[in-house]
Every structure is written in structure tokens, then in C-alpha cells.
Amino acid sequence: MSRLASLTPATAVGASKDLLAELVNRHGQVGDMVAAMAHSPAVLGGYLQLSTGNEASETQPMIDLGLRVYREPASISDEHIAGLRAYGYGDREIADVVGIVALNILTGAFNLVAGVKPDEPDR
């Protein structure tokens, strides 16, 4: 059982109501985590922007950056960024990696606090 009530377009207010209504119109429903995030329009809006605005690159230098951002962000140096640029990555791709890591931290932490269990993968 979720620790935070799930909101719907009918029970949410303000920006959250609009965001949930748009999601329901597009997908038919929303998951428990998103419905609980609707208590904070800032969290819900930020989560949706991060989750729809980022496409992860699956090449090793970007994976290494993501791990470094997660594990030891203070260790990222000008040389690390210059190395990514040498592979052809620009500001957007580098910023996207930070957003993806933040999205995953937000998702995991929110689920733990709200008591939302992740959906089981389709088998």
C-alpha cells in the first residue's frame, strides 16, 4: 500500500490536475508513482520533463560519466568533459546524462518514501 494517496485528474488541483489529465488522455492511465507525485506539481512536472526529454546514449564514455555522476560527482574534471567532447558529445548529451541520473535517483527515492512498489516487468 502506498504511503501517499494516488491522485487523479478529478482529485488533483492546479498544474498537477492538468499534467495528470494530459497523461491519462495520452496513455489511458498513470502509474502509482506518478499519481502520488501529483501532490507536488514541481516534482511531477520535473519528473515528466526529465523522463521525456532525455534519451540515453549507450556508448561506454557516456555510461562511465553516468556512473561517475552517481558515485562521485565532485571528481568530474575538465579533462573528463574534454574526453567526452573528443568522442563528439556536446553540451546537450552531457547535460542529459546528469538529468538521467537525477531522474533515476528521484524515482527510486520517491518510490521508497511513498511506499510505491515498482511494476513487475512483463514476462
**Is residue 122 a part of any domain in this protein?**
no
- pLDDT tens digit sequence for 56-115: 447 789 889 999 999 999 999 999 999 999 999 999 999 999 999 999 999 999 999 999
* Number of domains into which the chain is organized: 1
CATH code for the domain of 99: 1.20.1290
20 located within any domain: yes
Q: Which domain holds residue 58?
A: 14-114
> Is 19 among the domain residues?
yes
Per-residue pLDDT tens for 19-69? Answer: 999 999 999 999 999 999 999 999 999 888 877 755 544 778 988 999 999
- Which H, E and C letters describe 35-85, residue by residue? HHHCCCHHHHHHHHHHHHHCCCCCCHHHHHHHHHHHHCHHHCCHHHHHHHH
Is residue 2 a part of any domain in this protein?
A: no
State if pTM tops 0.85.
Answer: no
pLDDT band with cut points at 50, 70 and 90 for residue 120: low
